[in-house]
Chains A and B, each alone.
Chain A
Amino acid sequence: MRCRPAAARRRGAVPVNRAEREAAVRRIMRESSPRVPPELYADALRRGRRMLGRRVAARRLLWLLLCAAALAFTVWAVNARPWERPPSETTPPLPGW
């Protein structure tokens, strides 16, 4: 924080054109780099595996539901035969006899 105005002074008064100003900001942003904690990879892997496991389980459940629905429909269709015309329950009138 304190070094920023000092650094700006060092660089000269005012970077006028856009490219220079952007380069100056890039320099400021690059100044101090954080250290990567060693446990980061293990944490990410653990969470990622859990996330993936949940996704796989959800996908399996959906497939299972789909298969069960298809099976139920087939069984119903074979028994009920909805494509067949139902047997007539009334006798048509026979005029002209």
Chain B
Amino acid sequence: MRGRHASRDARRAEEFRVFVAGAAGRLLHTATLLTAEAPGDNPRARRLLTLALAHTYACWDGLRGEDGEDPYDRARRYLAVRFAHEARGRRGALGRARPRPRGPLARLTARERLILVLRLYEGVAEEQTAALLGLTGEHVRTVCDRAVATVLHPPRGPAPAARRETAARAASS
């Protein structure tokens, strides 16, 4: 009994290692785009990814077999839902110091980033994105188009982050 248990544990760990080796790079890129952190300094994205991978490991046995969900899809879904949840929690806490967004999507809101990344970087279908976030397909398309426009034609003036920085510099000098 114990031996079988241990061998199943070892097999699961090995399969999980292979999965992480293949998927972690792309998932970390996705997470870093979501949190709008710089690629070299992305503690929040790493934390999100660690949680998503741990969750995937915990349901690994249910993901195997014919009708099991793809582990990558499961991890990505958990990442997206967790990010959406945390973003909702953060909106109210403006007074708290939060890291300055610096990634290429820094001008977008959390929801715009989430939709843009899922739709265009991950290539999730519009209906699936809508179902995942509890929105209508129409809404997803609108937000995605707006986000694309913002990324391609940034509004005049420096990014909000840069503006804050300039203000801080002006105040300190």
Judged by a CB distance under 8 angstroms, whether B104 is at the interface is yes
Interface stretch of the complex, out of B53-61, B80-88, B90-98, B130-138 = B53-61
Is A59 an interface residue, CB under 8 A from the partner?
no
Cα-based distance from A55 to B61 in the complex (angstroms): 13
Cβ of A36 and Cβ of B154 under 8 Å apart?
A: no
CB contacts (< 8 Å) of A29 on chain B: these are 33, 104-105, 116-117, 120-121
The answer to whether B57 and A15 touch across the interface, beta carbons within 8 angstroms, is no
- Residue in contact with B45 in the complex, picked from A32, A34, A52, CB distance below 8 Å: A34
Given A41-B17, A44-B20, A48-B58; A25-B39 close (CB under 8 Å): no
Residues of B with C-beta under 8 A to A1: 102, 104, 106, 159, 162
Does B129 reach chain A (CB closer than 8 Å)? no
Chain A residues numbered 40-64 whose CB sits less than 8 Å from any CB in chain B = 40-41, 43-52, 55
B25 is an interface residue with CB less than 8 A from chain A? yes
Minimal beta-carbon separation of B48 from chain A (angstroms): 11
Check if A47 sits within 8 Å of B25, measured CB to CB.
Answer: no
Cα A79 to Cα B125 in complex, Å, equals 62
Q: Which residue of B lies closest to A28 (CB)?
A: B104
Q: B57 touching A44 by the CB < 8 A rule?
A: yes
B55 near A40: Cβ-Cβ < 8 Å: no
By size class, the interface of chain A is 20 to 34
Number of interface residues of B (CB under 8 A): 43
Contacts of A33 in B (CB 8 A): 25, 29, 39
Q: Say yes or no: A4 contacts B104, CB within 8 Å.
A: yes
Residues of B15-57 whose CB lies within 8 A of A: 16-17, 20-21, 24-25, 28-29, 32-33, 39-40, 42, 45-46, 49-51, 53-57
Which residues from chain A contact B28 at a C-beta distance below 8 Å?
A: 34, 36, 40
Nearest opposing residue in chain A for B47, CB measure: A43
Complex CA distance for A50 and B57, rounded to whole angstroms: 10
Say whether A26 contacts B120, CB under 8 Å: yes
B60 neighbours in A (Cβ, 8 Å): 48
Residue numbers in A under 8 Å from B40 (CB-CB): 34-35
Pairs across A and B, CB under 8 Å, 9 listed: A21-B152, A25-B151, A28-B151, A40-B20, A43-B54, A45-B54, A47-B50, A47-B51, A48-B53
**12 more A-B contacts (CB under 8 A) besides A33-B29, A45-B17?**
A4-B104, A8-B153, A25-B147, A25-B151, A29-B33, A29-B116, A30-B121, A32-B104, A34-B40, A41-B20, A50-B54, A51-B57
